[in-house]
Structure 1
């Protein structure tokens, strides 16, 4: 059985899916996690509620998929130019720093996306995997500093995943008010420095 949220085939389906994700991000940006209600998303995207549920069986599926789309955007931007920095540590910190600052400028949206990611259960495994792969691609590109990346080793992949997990955890601490904004960067700096020795 294929994932409920796989990329649809026809242009009309892709356009419908784009509108749904646009509506989701707009609602989340205005009011955070609680503002994203399935009926409102369907209304704003101009799709039937049943259609929305065929694409995304729950609000968590919807928001985690939206997070994946945001990471796609970050990856495209980072790939379009050389990542500043002389070392893998500097390059990773640059990419994560720029992304963190952008997310902190949209606290409601960041709250919605990271909360959904943390709440996700096994039913959202495909979407979580997709987000993880996109984050891995962003960090791997920063480490290598080029698109000419060889096949990463298991250890390389594990290191990148840990960096991603620490970053998302630090963001969640900021979103919930447990961690000040600058602490996110400090936590990341320590983790990245230790992992990329």
Structure 2
């Protein structure tokens, strides 16, 4: 009779398998765009059965969102290591949004997939909430993790205003993708919106 692996070991193995799938998909996307992220190709290169891949990611869009989420993880790590130093909440949040813009625009098809997942809600995703949470931490100068970290109150007025700025960024990212705005124009428009939206954070910093 086969002996089953302990639950903790199975969980680690599943997490490693999922991570391998996402990294494989990301590598394919970097070489050939989202079109290259064919489910069968991802499964073959990741060394998993196609059915196993579909258990983790029921659709290609779910897999794309997972790759974009990995990019967001890297952004959060980068911010933890090198937080924005601007004196104002508006300046700090725009700094982070422009880092995200530059990162995503290195692979425009992934950026397009992010926009579609947020605007069209093609799949269930926490990306919008995670982006707003990140901006709230930057605006309030609270750590993302570790000592001093705090969860935002998502009903708080300040959090709602930060969420509004995130929504503006998504629209500006879409305009950038369509070639109707360049990066400098996106920054200028985000700065114009961020100053009045986040004015309440400045009094809190004072």
Query: TM bucket by the smaller chain?
Result: 0.7 to 0.9
The alignment's C-alpha RMSD in Å is 2.2
Counterpart mapping for 1:13-162 below 5 A = 13-121=14-122, 124-125=123-124, 128=125, 130-147=126-143, 148=148, 149=150, 151-152=152-153, 153-162=155-164
Unmatched 5+ residue regions in structure 2? 1-9, 200-206
- Which entry has the higher C-alpha Rg, 1 or 2? 2
Find the partner of 1:182 among 175, 181, 184: 184
Q: Which whole-Å CA distance do the structure 2 matches of 1:20 and 1:89 have between them?
A: 37
Whether the 8 Å contact between 2:132 and 2:166 is mirrored in structure 1 is yes
- Give the deviation of 1:66 after TM superposition: 1.9
Structure 1 unmatched runs, 5+: 1-8
Mapped to 2, the partners of 1:83 and 1:68 lie a distance apart of: 21
CA contact (8 A) 2:89 2:138 kept: yes
**Count of aligned pairs between the two proteins:** 184
Residues 51 and 13 of structure 1, relative CA distance in 2, 3 Å threshold: same
Structure with the bigger RCO (C-alpha within 8 Å, sep 6+) is 1
**CA distance change for structure 1 residues 111 and 38 in 2, over 3 Å: closer, same or farther?**
same
Indicate the residue corresponding to 2:204 in structure 1: none
| Alpha-carbon displacement from aligned partner over 1:141-178 (angstroms, at most 9, x marks no partner) | 21012314574353222222222222122212222333
**TM score, norm. by length of structure 1:** 0.81
